[in-house]
A and B are shown apart, each in its own frame.
Chain A
Amino acid sequence: MLQFFKSTVGRKYLMGITGLVWMGFIFGHMAGNMLIFVGADAFNAYGHAIVSNKILLYGTEIALVLTLIVHVSCAISLTIQNRSSRNSRYAMTPNAEKGSSLASKTMAVQGSAILAFIILHLITFKYGKIYETNVGGVLMRDLHKLVIETFAQPGYVAWYVVCLILLLFHLSHGAHSIFQSFGILERKMQAKLKMGAWVYALVVAGGFLSQPIYVFLFHK
């Protein structure tokens, strides 16, 4: 079994499985945050419901942290191996037909930026300023106020837009690439999988993008 995790094929399975966990999480995260369009009370009540359910909260947090550690450490070890497998560079780059997509070539760079984003994102919100509010007689954290405050700053919005566009490309490649890593790619699936991956990536990244942009432009 150890040989499986040492092999390039095995580590790609790990990358795929851990990536899949995060793909599920960020879809849910994006969908839940859409409550920002509904109103402050709905948004805060949703946040409160999540942190009140300790099993759900800690279970998810543990799963996310563990899978992120595996995803990142596999990525680092594979990238090191991949770099060392070509010791001299070509003078010329291939033409479009025989070249690769920018998204697939720059997964490591996107991943590094997204990791930095996740850490800063947690500092800003999860461990950020605590305001309190009262929704239906229950005292809870006013995350809505913090979100509005944060996304009123153009610098923050610009940083989110850049990172979410990187996330779009990261997902667009990852979401179809896992089918190959998992060994469930068949000839007839190829074209539709790429399209499906782009649809998923656009829904997630587009959904997330709409939130800071809405707050920055339209929230009074």
Chain B
Amino acid sequence: MTKQTINLKLKVWRQTNPQTEGKFVTYDAKDISPDASFLEMLDTVNEGLIKKGDSPIVFDHDCREGICGSCGFMINGNAHGPEKSTTVCQLHMRHFHDGEELVLEPWRATAFPVIKDLMCDRSAFDRIMKSGGYISVNTGNAQDANAIPIPKPDADEAFLSAACIGCGACVASCKNASAALFTSAKITHLSLLPQGKVERGQRALDMVAQMDAEGFGACTSTGVCSASCPKDISLTNIATMNREYLKAVITQKEEMGGGDGV
């Protein structure tokens, strides 16, 4: 038995490169299976475009399992589409109805310049991670897990924060294009765990400074970031970031030299 396929009208943002102005171009997506994912639907449209000699619609994607954070664009103004807790690669066409018109736009933020069509440059996130989103212990094996007790609520909260895949939906949906949810998820995740606690102060200072330097906006606590997040990262992370930052500003000690350093 074959399932009823649907036809859609897509208004897609086409932009050749970061320097040129983009514009919306309308395409028909015909005979789309409701079981197809949104990206598979775009693949189908792209095959048609390639056959006609047009350039395919460019979009980021990798695992298509909702865990890598590569994909993401706006569908009718919603980051990753209308469904909650879903990446666009895990969004299926059964959520749309026949004849629907969909507007596809890239993430829009000054810190995320559009590279081409629906693909934007999110290396600002990489630079925030590079500024402190890691722990400096880089030798030896992992310790026996039971040697470092971690309270269950802390472990739970750290896991929930660590679920952030860095897709950028928070920035894209925020009216201020703020990266507070992303940055705070990383700060919270590491500051809750023993290995990360050692550098928590410097990490908060450095990551917040880098976040601001990249040109992201401030948090207005609208909560849209969390509502749009495919991994349901909580707003409480932002509170934790603010607290860590304030604490670090007041209590952070400076290195005095000595030891192996000259």
Contacts and interface: CB of A to CB of B under 8 A. Distances in A.
Interface of A: 1, 3-4, 6-13, 78, 81-82, 84-95, 97-101, 104-105, 107, 173, 176-177, 179-187, 190
Interface residues of B, number: 51
B238 interface: yes
A92 B236 CA distance: 28
Contact of B218 (A81, A89, A92): A81
B236 A190 contact: yes
Given A186-B236, A190-B236, A88 B108 contact: yes
A179 B223 CA distance: 13
Contacts, number: 160
B227 A9 contact: no
A100 B77 CA distance: 12
Given A95-B82, A183-B242, A100 B110 contact: no
Contact of B178 (A10, A85, A95): A85
30 contacts: A6-B212, A8-B178, A8-B180, A8-B211, A9-B242, A10-B249, A13-B242, A81-B217, A82-B175, A84-B110, A85-B217, A86-B110, A86-B176, A86-B217, A90-B74, A91-B77, A93-B77, A94-B76, A94-B224, A97-B82, A97-B227, A98-B82, A101-B222, A104-B222, A107-B220, A173-B221, A180-B238, A182-B242, A183-B244, A190-B235
B128 interface: no
B79 A8 contact: no
B175 A185 contact: no
Nearest to A176: B221
A81 B180 CA distance: 14
B242 A181 contact: yes
